């Protein structure tokens, strides 16, 4: 898959690069989403600049807030979702739960 990746904190124009990355696998209780669209929030830009309430582990794919897409795969013990279903994923860092790998 392709992803916009930052390897360090900095201005988005300076640190973001388009890279090829392996497609992740859905682990137990997780869904893999084929992203169709994702916004660019001012918050996402401030995360990359190191000016937000959390800092991701670098390198990181940008986009840490939300996306829309279709479920591509389900991990074991994942309930209530179907492959091919359209979804909105809210990956807001203030919400408890596992961190999202990035939506860009």
88 is catalytic: no
What's the token pair of residue 69?
A: 């897409």
Catalytic residue among 12, 45, 49, 52: 52
Find where tokens 């660019």 sit: 40
| Gyration radius from the chain CA atoms | 14
Q: Which of 101, 85, 92 is nearest to 36 (CA)?
A: 85
Q: Which residues are catalytic?
A: 52
């Amino acid at each position: 898959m392709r992803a916009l990746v930052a390897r360090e904190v900095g201005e988005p124009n300076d640190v973001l690069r388009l890279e090829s990355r392996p497609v992740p696998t859905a682990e137990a209780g997780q869904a893999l989403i084929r992203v169709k669209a994702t916004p660019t929030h001012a918050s996402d830009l401030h995360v990359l600049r190191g000016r937000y309430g959390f800092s991701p582990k670098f390198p990181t794919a940008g986009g840490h807030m939300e996306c829309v897409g279709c479920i591509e795969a389900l991990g074991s013990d994942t309930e209530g979702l179907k492959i091919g279903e359209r979804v909105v994923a809210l990956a807001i860092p203030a919400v408890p739960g596992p961190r999202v790998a990035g939506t860009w």
